[in-house]
Chains A and B, each alone.
Chain A
Amino acid sequence: MTSQMIVALGGMLLSLLLAPLLPGCTNRVKAMMGGRKGRPLLQLYFDLCRLMGKSPVYPGVTTYFFKAAPTACLTSAVAALTVLPFWPVAAPANFSGDFILLAGLFAMSRFFLILAALDTGSAFEGMGASRDALFSALAEPIFLFCLLLLCRQAHSLTLSGMTTVAAGPAAIQGYWMFYLMLAFALFLLLLQENSRIPVDDPNTHLELTMIHEVMILDHSGPDLAFLEYAAALKLWIFSLLIAGLVLPLPSVPLFDDGGSLGPHGLAGLAVHWGTTLLAIFGVGALVGLVESLMARLRMERVPQVLAMAGAFAGLAALTLWRQA
């Protein structure tokens, strides 16, 4: 195993460990904006530990899918981390077209989650499943299209090549507008895919207005822990993607000629990882900011948010055309 691979796997491990911190960060920003002290930053870790020790309750009508959904969601989120590059090295699995696999993995978790919701036979969960299926079906082509635009700009069909990992800050030179538009579109998609305000309110207590929360209403114990962890990972993945997109960091050669990580490289690695984490938590804070400044939209207006994301992807395409 090369040291490049070790660094990449280290990045993955870092993601797995720190992902539950991201919702905490968002919540802290929300609390601060609301003039409250807020719950602890590590709240989700406590929740997960507590949930893992509880015994679940399964509704009588449910089948295998109800139990498979938490596993599938977590599996797909972890698998998505293998194709997603973590600064400053390429992802453990990078090949032409890996960005499509990323969308496929999201589709997989959605498939199982929707089935699990319908498995309970509850009208409310059916409603949530219907909404989630609809909004994700609208978001998926836009998400793929955003990444496709990057393909052409970065002359690479891999996620690692598309984000600034491989190309460094030179790639972004002269394409600021393009990257800005794209980041904005992806940010809107982040809000949708992770069920944040203005699409969905993670804190609402009214089942009629929920999307994601109502789908996991009947899950409890370790199942709920898996789902919460998978949701945190998904938020992390989107934040990492956006951070990797717009972070204009100089790429310092980390590895010496033998391909090993010297003391100089270690320092560089620490700087890179620190900056990336800062950027990820920055995105998390931005989500918190949006959540405190905006009200959630009526359901029928959610497609307009997605249309907005689509329009920004279209703008990015136009700016790309202008530069070409």
Chain B
Amino acid sequence: MEPHSLYLFCAVLALLVGGAFCSLIAGRAAAATASCACVAAGAVGLCLSLYLLLSGATLRVSFPLPLPLGECLFCVDRLSSVFLPPVFLLALIGGALLPGRLKSLAAEAAETGARLAVGRHCFFFCFLIAGMVMTLTAADAVLFLISWEIMSLMPFFLISPLDRDANERFAVWVYLTAAHLGVLPLLLLFAGMGAEAGGTDFALFATRGAWSHPCLYFMLALVGFGLKAGLVPLHVWMPEAHSSAPGHVAVLLSGAMLNVGLYGILRVLLLAGPPEAWWAYALMGAGVLSGVTGILLGLVQSDLKRTLAYSSAENMGIICLALGGALLACSIGSSAAALLLAGVFLHIWNHSLFKSLLFLAANAVKEHTHTMLIQRLGGLHKRIPFTGGCFALGSAAIAGIPPLNGFMSELLLYTGFAVGSKAAGNTETVLLFWGAFFVLGAIAGMALFAFTQAYGLAFLGAPRSAQSCQAREPETLFKAAMLLLALLCLCAGFAGPLLLKALSPFLVWFASGLGIPTAVCAEGMEAAATVLAWYAALGAALLALFVLVSLARGRAVGKNGFAEGVTWSCGYCRPTARMQYTGGAFARTFAMLLHPLARTRTVTPKVQGLFPGREKAIMTSPDWPTELWSSLLFRPVTAVAEAAKNLQTGLVNLYILYIFIALVAALTWALGWA
């Protein structure tokens, strides 16, 4: 442990917390203060976490704060240092964008007469980042829960700064409910572990070999952390919150906070001792459900940002599926485990990059068009080519198009499943690997569908409404942020071998924590390195070939010259922009084909009479897991609560009767049974 990194870590925390409080009292300079604090903390933290990841050092720092239980102990070990870089990178970007975003929010507030509390917004923003950093580094169960609560609570204040309409209010409400319910399993988990281990220090948990109920702990962790990671059917808060949040918040929520949920699952995997066979099945099952349902619900959405939010559920599902596969490969001692783990962590990073890029671009569009509905957009690329290009690159990356980074990690996952199925002995394991491979292919196919639809319909073609014509490029800083993320997406595809090299000490450490022998792990890492090297080389060749073919095409076109015309509409001479395909039509066949999972509803009016009036056909794709939860859980609870309200009559005599009954009951119990 080196004192420099220790000081730097303390400085990061101090910057974030200090920035938060300073922005509260800074008045007009609040945004600038918070922005400086976040950027500085992000930059320092990014360097620090990358240094810690590469050096493999562990940082332990304890603050002498009087907590009621446990102690204030932070520990940046290798697992934390893998998850920290995206958080700091996005803190940097989010912080840099904060003043600009707040300015445009303030302008909108002045227009609509809404109130915007800039200082408080900055305060909560700084604390959101601080909460994430603390959660990722807490080494004590109580401190972890406190940090978790801080992190979970902050988006509640940040999602809807202007409180625009009922939808946003609903989003905030759903978020708060989900965040609170999600903490319950974690409370039980750490209470159980702490009681058994006789302390709350994670180091104490780690040294304890055998737990009495490891399966229970694993399930609690999967539910509690899965809710934060947005696994279907626990994702209900995500489409609402992510689509309402302003750009700088959405970036952090989608690119960093979802990862914290995954971090929790991985941390508990390391703490809960040797994994049991069915954990792999549970993770794979959760992954399949989340991946398939997530992307399917995503592709039937007509709101661009909701599509992005659902695709987060899909990507978290892919990661879960691969994690389950890694555990399964572990149990048969195959080198596929290392391949899959490498794919998992690279995918976590990649997802942070392209999802935040997509959210930024979508928010840049929303700022001027004030709508995210595909049927109102269209033709954006011609108006805002920079934002359009960034969104296109992000779509290509997330849809798994070589040579970008999305396909890089998916390639590792596919290869891992293939290696696992080749090595597996018994039929069930082979079938599981085959199934996982097949599902991954299906998810990739659907993701391509969803993102060609999202980009093609919203950005290409002709504008479908006047709102779409209002689109303008965002300010320079915003563009720079998008450019940075886009370049990272592009370069990460070619830098696969380097990234793997950076990750490999961590992967060996993590794999040994799961009980994979070093030799097997090394074999898997070597295979992964070969695949990534080939991918980078062929990616470069592909790019070169693309340039060459473009030149050839350019020459041919240049020689012959070209003309500009109108789109061929099969003989119809007055096509309008509204005749273009829309999201509903594009995805309709798919939604019908997989109706049990998509649940698209169509209301067609009955046209009567010779001269029918104006009618509306409505096609909606409600989030059916939300409806499931409300019918299973919330409605019964509400019914019970409603019934319980009858007890409160307001009659004093009756209240005294209650006291009397309670007294008699207590006496009877005390004397009769005790």
Contact = CB atoms under 8 A, between A and B. Distances in A.
Direct touching of A and B (C-beta under 8 Å): yes
B399 A111 contact: yes
Of B379, B382, B561, B586, the most chain A CB neighbours within 10 A belong to B586
B549 A118 contact: no
A300 B589 CA distance: 8
Nearest to A143: B441
Contacts of B417: 148
Nearest to B544: A75
B225 to A, nearest CB: 29
Nearest to B578: A123
B130 interface: no
B418 interface: yes
A61 B587 CA distance: 23
Given A96-B415, A140-B444, A129 B545 contact: no
Interface string B449-463: 100110111001110
Contacts of A207: 570
B418 A122 contact: no
A118 B417 CA distance: 35
Contacts of B457: 118, 126
Q: Which of B446, B456, B460, B593 has the most CB of A within 10 A?
A: B460
A305 interface: no
A124 interface: yes
A136 B396 CA distance: 16
Contact of A119 (B402, B461, B564, B585): B461
Interface residues of A, number: 84
Interface string A119-139: 111111111011101101111
A240 B88 CA distance: 49
Interface in B525-555: 527, 530-531, 534-535, 537-538, 541-542, 545-546, 549-550, 553
Contacts of B399: 107, 111
Nearest to B442: A141
B563 interface: yes
B446 A157 contact: no
Contacts of B438: 141, 144-145, 148
Contacts of B414: 97, 100, 144
A152 B430 contact: yes
Contacts of B407: 104
Interface in A223-261: 223, 226
Nearest to B380: A63
A294 interface: no
Given A157-B418, A223-B553, A111 B396 contact: yes
Contacts of A121: 378-379, 460-462, 567, 577, 580
A82 B593 contact: no
Given A100-B411, A121-B379, A217-B568, A55 B563 contact: yes
Given A58-B564, A111-B399, A123-B569, A79 B541 contact: yes
Interface in B368-391: 378-379, 381-382, 385, 388
Nearest to A300: B589
Contacts of A265: none
B448 A107 contact: yes
Contacts of B455: 115
A93 interface: yes
Nearest to A136: B445
Contact of B402 (A96, A104, A226): A104
B452 A129 contact: yes
A157 B542 contact: no
A143 B579 CA distance: 35
A108 B401 contact: yes
Interface string B397-410: 00111100001000
Contact of B538 (A101, A126, A137, A221): A101
Contact of B434 (A95, A125, A148): A148
Contacts of B566: 59-60
B492 to A, nearest CB: 16
A129 B378 CA distance: 16
A79 B577 contact: no
Contacts of A221: 556-557, 560, 562
A97 B442 CA distance: 17
Interface stretch (A13-21, A65-73, A178-186): A65-73
A96 B530 contact: yes
Given A52-B556, A134-B449, A152-B421, A317 B434 contact: yes
Interface in B444-497: 444-446, 448-449, 452-453, 455-457, 460-462
B589 A134 contact: yes
B575 to A, nearest CB: 7
B534 A131 contact: no
B560 A222 contact: yes
Nearest to A100: B414
Interface in A74-107: 74-76, 78-79, 82-83, 93, 95-98, 100-101, 103-105, 107
A133 B567 CA distance: 21
A105 B381 CA distance: 25
Contacts of B379: 61, 121
A110 interface: yes
B553 A226 contact: yes
B535 A101 contact: yes
A78 B449 CA distance: 24
Contacts of A68: 550
Contact of B567 (A59, A70, A110, A145): A59
Contact of A61 (B462, B579, B590): B462
Nearest to B556: A222
Nearest to B381: A63
A140 B400 CA distance: 12
Nearest to A133: B449
Nearest to B453: A133
Contacts of A299: 589
Nearest to A58: B564
A142 B564 CA distance: 41
Contacts of A157: 415, 418-419, 422
Contacts of A138: 445
B586 A101 contact: no
Contacts of B415: 96-97, 100, 157
A145 B546 CA distance: 29
Contacts of A79: 538, 541-542, 545
Contacts of B190: none
A75 B546 contact: yes
Interface string A147-175: 01001100101000000000000000000
B397 to A, nearest CB: 11
Contacts of A95: 530-531, 534
A61 B538 contact: no
A75 B567 CA distance: 26
A56 interface: yes
A303 interface: yes
A100 B320 CA distance: 21
A270 interface: no
Contacts of B562: 55-58, 221
B581 interface: yes
A141 B452 contact: no
Contacts of B553: 67, 70-71, 222-223, 226
B422 A155 contact: yes
B437 interface: yes
B549 A71 contact: yes
Given A55-B560, A111-B396, A221-B557, A71 B550 contact: yes
Instruction: Please list the 5 inter-chain residue pairs (A to B) with the smallest Cβ-Cβ separation, ordered nearest first.
Output: A126-B581, A118-B456, A141-B441, A121-B461, A137-B445
19 contacts: A64-B385, A65-B460, A67-B553, A75-B542, A82-B538, A100-B418, A101-B411, A104-B411, A107-B400, A108-B402, A115-B452, A119-B460, A123-B579, A126-B580, A127-B585, A139-B445, A140-B445, A145-B441, A221-B557
Given A55-B561, A104-B401, 19 more contacts: A52-B556, A59-B566, A79-B542, A79-B545, A96-B530, A100-B411, A104-B402, A118-B452, A125-B567, A126-B585, A129-B452, A133-B453, A136-B448, A138-B445, A145-B441, A217-B568, A222-B553, A300-B589, A317-B434
